[in-house]
Structure 1
Amino acid sequence: MLVAWPTTLAAQTQGAPSAGGVAAAAQETRSTDRAETGDGSRAATPPRLRARLTPYVEVGQVLVADLTGGDAVTYTTLAAGVNAQVQTARAQGQVSYRYERRIGWSDRAGDGDIHSGLARISYALTPELHLEGGALATRTRADIRGAAPGVLVGDVANISQIYSAYAGPSLATRAGPVQIGANYRLGYTRAETPGLGGLAPGQPQLDYFSDSWNHMATVSATARPGAIAPVGLSANAAYERDDAGQLSQRYEGWFVRGDVLKPVSPYVALTAGVGYERIEASQRDPEVDAAGRPLVDSRGRFITNPQGPRRIAYRTDGVYYDAGVIWRPDRRTSVEGHVGERYGSLSVTGLARYQASRDLVFQAAIYDGIQTFGRQLRNGLSNLPTNFVETRDAFAQQFNGCVFSAGGTSPGGCLNDALQSVQTAVYRARGLDMALSYQRGRSTLGVGLGYTSRRLFAPDDVPGLIVSGAQDDSYYGQIFLGHAFGPNSGLNVNGFVNYYVSRLAGAEDVVSLGTTASYYRNFGRLGTTASVGLYHFSVGDLTNALSAQALVAARYQF
């Protein structure tokens, strides 16, 4: 059987997520609940006209026991939220949002507010023109060297509240034998000031990220093999800009690229591409006192010197290239790999996908690109499915790790590569992400694994900046198992493990792991939840924490 080769060569040659420039345009394909045909195009599934909107209020009681020190604290939680979903011929989307007020029963358990939520929406204005968007509210680690309290209760040292959103149109049309594509994305990300904790004595603070606006525009023209030439042809161009508040950091990138694809058998094709890119990242210096020490504001962030010169943190300007192989033995399996030179060194990217059935989907990607925190989080958010698993587990890593699909052609995705820590500096991100989702009857299984490495860039000899040339690495894994005993009850189990390594002077390796289980039971509009969890993290020999959590909650759904 002859496999029809994909029309979008950019997606084949730059298919790794978060690779920057044209690759980012390729990765930001729609993650809607649509079927993929054998030739790589997308055909809408039969309309499933359904929509739901479920607002709720909830009250709960939480016990957190420090198994290392022997202390225990109690919280009362008051929460309000909404779960919504739409799946129609034109619209696919899901929203899950929760606001929680935490009230401590003692001085050791301070009050606090928590926002957690995810939204992914796609709407077809016409068959060719789509509007897409996404939003995220979660908590994550701020400093990769510090504490790693990965649950939403208990110690909040080194945790920052994150908000991120993006939106924009996507156009896919044809001009004779040529397929034309265009995209625009506007994104915004903001981080609250973290509490400090878990750092070795004498460790200087990092340049804490505040917020950023980013833009991306892409255009592509593609022709299949045999349409206008014996080989497939593709031309792509892209522009990206990211403006961050901390030290007035600015990232700007211009990209243009051409690709060819040559099938050599019914199942194998060779591909090669060459492009030109110009990337420049710059920032201003912080204000300093009479002793030359950087000044910080009330939130611990550097005060920017508005009169200071704009200094270059990273710059590349030149040609890059790669070549690769694509293997598609059947319509369910696709594997590709690309090797070339980019950013002055070897660059490897790849993408593998296997869909055994509508119930079992696996995907893995190798990526390499120059990134900023806001852009990488936007790209990760855009790759999440519009139909995802939502849980009531207040202890799990809700939306700050892996998000698994609740059905469709995508297994879901992980945000760990961006959320391993909140980083202002520009960096080169390289790594591997894998995700698997499986559904059978009333059971759902999700597995995510990955590794990411970041090399950080900043101007040399800037007061207070210690990240220039440094590198950090993260390894992560997450598993989710959900089983419904019936229409009104079920059990969810989560497990995660993270390992962080920073090459900054004096930094210690960080390990965090945990598991939680949650049972829910509904009685009409009234729902009840009981959860237990066990969590551990260590920062070298400095900090070692082991805690257990228990929760009972009642929810009323309107």
Structure 2
Amino acid sequence: MSARFRLARRSAMLAALLLAGAASGAQAQWSGDEGAGDRDAPATGPATPYGGGEADAGQAQRQRTVDVTPYLEIGQVLNADLKNGGDVLTYTTLAAGVDAAVVTRRAEVAASLRYEHRIGESGGLGDSDLISGLLRARLEAARGFNLEAGALATRTRADGYGSADIFLADATNIADVYSFYAGPTFARRIAGLDVGAGYRFGYTKTDIDTPGAATAGIPEGIFDSSTNHAAWASVGARPGDLPFGWQLSGGWEREDASQLDQRYDGKYVRADVTVPISPTVALLGGVGYEDIEISQRDPVLDADGRPVIDSDGRYVTDKSQPRQLAFDTEGLIWDAGVMWRPSRRTSLTARVGRRYGDTIYTGSFAYRPDHATMLQIGVYDGLSSFGRGLSSGLSALPTQFDPTRNPVDGSISPCVFGQQGGGCLSPQLASATAAQYRSSGVQALLSSRYGRWNYGVGIGYDRRRLLVPETSVLADLNGVVDESYYLFLTAGRQLDADSSVSVTGFVNYFDNGAPGASDAQSAGLSSSYSRRLWRGLTGTAAASINAFDQDGFNSQLIGSALLGLRYNF
């Protein structure tokens, strides 16, 4: 085999990395999906550029697994305010749930679903019901044709200073979040062309059981519900007859949100080329056209000219007023970049371009030094919202991951890690704002297994610039910048055949740029010890300490402890 032939073959293989997943490439053009930092992975936040291809399907076939574990659980919990002399709260938890990890020739499912009933015992804490969970699934209905879905049930703060780590007992400050997406995707090589298409429907809802004064003072409003649709298609060819690869793609996205009758409508068409210049480096370029409009109505005003807030703490929409544009762009888009892949274990992509009437920078880096370790870094920039962000964030999560929960309160963790990589929903859950926004930032994840240890770390920064009509009564919010910083870590060790320990921790900082708003920070650390007592019966002891501080308010330090029993069927 000549050196020239080997060079041509490796160059073609490099270009194919960007064109083999044509459907993924088109899907990631969406405003909320630009967060991938790379069109090779439809994600908000970093995602492995190897995902979604035939190689992953082959890996799934080699690792056939069906592990579905239903369980019942009972626990006794104590919460104590360690700083302000508050009440000591105790309650009993009764829970039922299921953890699933399924990998077969045609299906992949990762899920952790849980229903919990809390029985208040002291400190004035009443009974409550909680549903939490995370699901990601893919079914290969036919060759190249997949049905995909994802779902999330969790809690966040309802006052605009939210995070996925909720430990405060004040029910007036908590919102339940429910989000799911589903749709088909198609990606096949037909007559020498890479053909792809897909559709995604998403729905997101927040529910505040007891709206309090905190929610009524949020300038941008509290998110209520939204539906979103995305459809895309692409066709391309790898280098061969031509010395470069090419792809034509296009699509449309629509979101309708109940708060202020918001509407997002975007469409695009574009052409991309991939030019291998060495066995490990390829130049990337693309040009196209986009048309995006974001609009909303004004809230109803009272006699004093102030927006009217309903009993749920949300703005009352004035249907009699015309729709106003919060963002409007139409015209040429382009980007250029480079991809470097020195081996199958390492990949780097960087791009600079013009979108949304502004310069954008995106990129991704993935490194897998061994089968048990994965490092991902993504730089993103795009238009998003609470609803669209969660839909695209869920679609970016891997279909194989190890679910992590807070060992005391049972809440689902915002970051997941697995052999396919991982992802964090922390940026999407940072604030349940009703406003549309432009989101940019960086996210990094590291996961590994070493001996009996396994661990994962997620860290990132997210910047949101709110988009509000300049002629609206809420015009003061236009251009307001919110920033969030987050860190999540988890580690566990199998001590022996019957016992294990785990540690999780988080740090969040939210810089609220809204007029009159204040910054907030939170941190927490929890640990647990579990031991199998008899067959499927496991005993658990856990403890945690959580801190929250908001400028202008009393800080809080909450200590918690749990003793529980769990029976796995």
What TM-score do you get using the length of structure 2 for normalisation? 0.89
Q: CA deviation at 1:488?
A: 2.9
Tell whether 2:543 aligns with 1:532: yes
Equivalences for residues 140-179 of structure 1 within 5 A: 140-144=156-160, 146=161, 150-152=165-167, 154-156=169-171, 158-179=173-194
In structure 2, the residue matched to 1:432 is: 442
1:391 to partner: Cα distance: 4.0
CA RMSD across the alignment: 3.0
1:50 maps to 2:65: yes
CA distance in 1, matches of 2:204, 2:27: 24
Compared CA separation, residues 15 and 444, structure 1 to 2 (3 A): farther
> In the aligned structure 2, how far is the partner of 1:216 from the partner of 1:19?
11
Amino acid at match of 1:80: A
- Give the drift of 1:148: 6.4
CA contact (8 A) 1:148 1:510 kept: no
Match of 1:475 among 466, 479, 485: 485
- Out of 364, 370, 379, the position equivalent to 1:366 is 379
Change (3 A) 1:399 1:13: same
Matching residue within 429, 442, 456 for 1:419: 429
CA 388–156 in structure 1, closer or farther in 2 if over 3 Å, else same: farther
1:16–1:350 contact (8 Å) kept in structure 2? no
Deviation at 1:529, TM superposition (A): 1.2
Secondary structure at the counterpart of residue 477 of structure 2: coil
Contact between 2:140 and 2:146, CA under 8 Å: does it hold in 1?
Answer: yes
The AA in structure 1 aligned to 2:565 is A
Deviation at 1:17, TM superposition (A): 9.3
Residue pairs, 1:99-110, within 5 angstroms: 99-110=115-126
CA displacement at 1:183 relative to structure 2: 1.1
Give aligned-pair identity as a percent: 42
2:95 corresponds to 1:85: no
Contact 2:183 2:198 in 1 (8 A): yes
Residue 467 (structure 1) shift? 2.6
Q: Judge conservation of contact 2:538–2:567 (CA < 8 Å) in 1.
A: yes
Match of 1:544 in 2: 555
How far, CA to CA, are the matches of 1:106 and 1:374 in structure 2?
A: 37
**Is residue 2:349 matched to residue 1:336?**
yes
Note if 1:245 corresponds to 2:219: no
1:65 to 54, 68, 80: 80
Secondary structure of the corresponding residue to residue 505 of structure 1: coil
Q: Is 1:443 matched up with 2:443?
A: no
For the residues of structure 1 that align with 2:568 and 2:406, how far apart are their CA atoms? 17
Q: 2:207 aligns with which of 192, 201, 222?
A: 192
* Partner residue in 1 for 2:230: 216
CA 1:397–1:461 in structure 2 vs 1: closer, same or farther (change >3 Å)?
Answer: farther
Q: Deviations over 1:486-545 (max 9, x none)?
A: 343211110111111111122222111111001111221222111100111111242311
Bigger mean CA deviation after superposition, 342-351 or 447-456? 342-351
Aligned in 2, Cα 1:454/1:147: closer, same or farther, shift over 3 Å?
Answer: closer
Which letter does structure 1 place at the counterpart of 2:465? R
The amino acid that maps onto 2:110 is: Q
- The alpha carbon displacement at 1:157 in A equals 5.1
Partner secondary structure for residue 199 of structure 2: strand
What are the within-5 Å matches in structure 2 for residues 259-338 of structure 1? 259-338=272-351
For 1:221, give the aligned amino acid: V
Amino acid at match of 1:84: A
Matching of residues 445-524 of structure 1 within 5 Å: 445-463=455-473, 466-522=476-532, 523-524=534-535
C-alpha separation in 1, matches of 2:54 and 2:111: 28
Return the letter of the residue paired with 1:233: W
- Distance in 2, matches of 1:36 and 1:433, equals 18
Q: Matched residues in 2 for 1:396 and 1:388: separation?
A: 21
Counterpart-to-counterpart distance in 2, 1:20 and 1:298 = 31
Moved more, 81-90 or 164-173: 81-90
Number of corresponding residues? 551
Query: Following the alignment from structure 2 to structure 1, what is the Cα–Cα distance between the partners of residues 413 and 314?
Result: 23
| Structure 1 or 2: more helix by fraction | 2
Distance 1:23 1:485 in 2: 39
Structure 1 distance, partners of 2:426, 2:164, is: 15
Task: Call closer, same or farther: CA 1:546–1:293 in 2, change over 3 Å.
Answer: same
Counterpart contact for 1:36–1:43, Cα < 8 Å? no
Contact persistence 2:212–2:313 (CA under 8 A): no
- Alpha-carbon spacing, 1:209–1:450, altered in 2? closer, same or farther (3 Å): same
Q: What amino acid sits opposite 1:544 in the alignment?
A: S
Counterpart residue identity of residue 207, structure 1: G
| Inter-partner Cα distance in structure 1 for 2:55 and 2:448 | 23
TM-score (norm 1): 0.91
Tell me the residue number matched to 1:118.
134
Shift of 1:97: 0.8
Per-residue Cα deviation, 1:391-412 (whole angstroms, up to 9, x for no partner): 453447843521122xx2x221
Does residue 180 (structure 1) correspond to residue 195 (structure 2)? The answer is yes
Identify if the C-alpha distance between structure 1 residues 233 and 5 changes in structure 2 by more than 3 Å, giving closer, same or farther. Answer: same
1:5 pairs with 2:14: yes
Equivalent position SS for 2:322? coil
**Does the 8 Å contact 2:26/2:232 carry over to 1?**
no
Q: CA 1:464–1:269 in 2, change beyond 3 Å: closer, same or farther?
A: closer
Q: How far, CA to CA, are the matches of 1:540 and 1:199 in structure 2?
A: 14
Q: Which residue number corresponds to residue 112 of structure 2?
A: 96
Per-residue CA deviation, residues 381-431 of structure 1 (Å, 9 max, x unaligned), is: 1111222222453447843521122xx2x2210001111011221110000
**Which whole-Å deviations, capped at 9, do the CAs of 1:115-165 have from their partners, x for residues lacking one?**
110111111112211111111101113333x47693346344532110011
Between the aligned partners of 2:329 and 2:387, the Cα distance in structure 1 is 20
Deviation sequence 1:208-233 (CA, Å, 0-9, x none): 1111111111111121123x422111
- Separation in 1 of the partners of 2:551 and 2:68? 46
Cα distance in 1, alignment partners of residues 410 and 276 from structure 2:
44
The answer (yes or no) to whether the contact 1:371–1:428 under 8 Å persists in 2 is: yes
5+ unaligned residues in a row in structure 1: which ranges?
none
Aligned 8 A contact 1:21 1:238 in 2? no
Residue 194 to residue 506, structure 1, CA distance change in 2 (3 Å): farther
Give the superposition deviation at 1:84: 2.3
Give distance in 1, aligned partners of 2:327 and 2:237: 35
- Give 5+ residue unaligned stretches, structure 2: 1-5
Q: Equivalent residue of 1:309, what SS?
A: coil
Is residue 2:172 matched to residue 1:138?
no
